[in-house]
Amino acid sequence: MKAAAVETKSLTRVFHPKKKKEGKSVTALENVDLRIDRGELFGLLGPNGAGKTTLLKILSTLLLQTSGKAYVAGFDVETQYHEIRKRINMVSGGEISGYGLLTVKENLWMFTQFYGIKSSVALQRIDELLVRFGLLDKKDEKVRTLSTGQRQKMNVIRGFATDPEIIFLDEPTLGLDVNASRTIRDYILEWVREGENKTVLLTTHYMAEADQLCGRIAIIDDGRILACDTPENLKKLVRTSTTLKLDTTFLNNKQVLNSVKGVEKFTYTDDAERNMTSLRFVLDDEAAVSDIVSEIVANGARILGLRKTEPTLEDVFIKLVGKGFE
């Protein structure tokens, strides 16, 4: 039986400052236990600073853990990194790597040469991917002339061009427009479905992306895994609760809503331009709705809209972590 694509056991990573005056130690990962099977498209959700990138760096052999174990394709990240590197690749959102003076094709070809891929094979693969990602007309353009979206597509191609067994995608659609993001997501899904035992570990901020793509999702915050399950099962965590979305005129004193009975958690966004506040509640008692409305009106705001929503991953996150994604 083939080993899991990724397995971690009590994985911990602590960062110590170079000098005492530079601050305290930071625990980026704490006792992370994770198993990702081959052929999975696995998602890792968490706010900024949760530890997602740290985990990816350990798994991609760029960083050592402080304690615990991590295995990629059955190989130990600490002692067998040579074997791991033959089987993986990584793409990060907002990557600026590459050489501005080279063309897109040259840049992509260069990186394939570090993976022992024959030039003829590499160039063919690159051409196919350029077509797939709509970059064929840019192949002879210098990298420095690309827009942000085009550059990120190039980065994604770089990751897949080496045909890895396992690919780590760290917010690959960050900052991209709808079409570009869709192209990348569609390709990722296709790659996992049609490939043999191809595995993706995807970190993202975008709930819809995780919901659409991932067979299983782990939610991480402050270096700890809070939950790990399929999107449907995770949503069931809040299904016993009611999710309520409320739009009001600007509400000043929001903290008073915490004391309303039946309110489990809530988040809000202020829109200064439109003088509005959007509130999102997870309620463990639907009867709390009337108390919430009364409290809002008593604090001088007007209700502009109110609706119950189906639980989403963000609701799951709010329930588990107590805050939305910034």
Residues that bind another protein (CB under 8 A): 13, 15-16, 57, 60-64, 82, 85-86, 88-90, 95-102, 106, 109-118, 121, 144, 158, 163
Shortest reach from residue 27's CB to another protein, in Å? 12
End-to-end CA distance of the chain: 42
Based on CB atoms, which residue is closest to another protein, 95 or 315? 95
> Which one, 90 or 213, has the nearer CB to another protein?
90
Nearest distance in Å: CB 272, another protein: 24
- Provide the CA 52 distance to its chain's centre, in angstroms: 8
- What is the closest distance, in whole angstroms, from the C-beta atom of residue 140 to another protein in the complex? 13
- Please state the closest distance from residue 114 (CB atom) to another protein, in A: 4
Query: Do the Cβ atoms of 193 and 39 come closer than 8 Å?
Result: no
Compare residues 200 and 207 and give the one whose CB is closer to another protein.
Answer: 200
What three-state secondary structure class fits 85? Answer: helix
Indicate the residue among 102 and 189 with the shorter CB distance to another protein: 102
Residue 306 burial (CB count, 10 A) = 14
Shortest CB 94 distance to another protein, Å? 9
Say which DSSP state 4 is in: P
C-beta of residue 85 within 8 angstroms of C-beta of residue 167: no
φ, ψ of residue 70 to 5 degrees: the values are -145, 135
CB of 125 to another protein, least distance (A): 10
Task: List the one residue out of 2, 5, 32 whose CA is nearest residue 228.
Answer: 32
> What count of other Cβ atoms lies within 10 Å of the Cβ of residue 275?
11
* Residue 152, both tokens: 């990120």
Smaller CB separation from another protein, 203 or 242: 203
Nearer to another protein by Cβ, of 146 and 184: the residue is: 146
- Single-letter amino acid code for the residue at 311: P
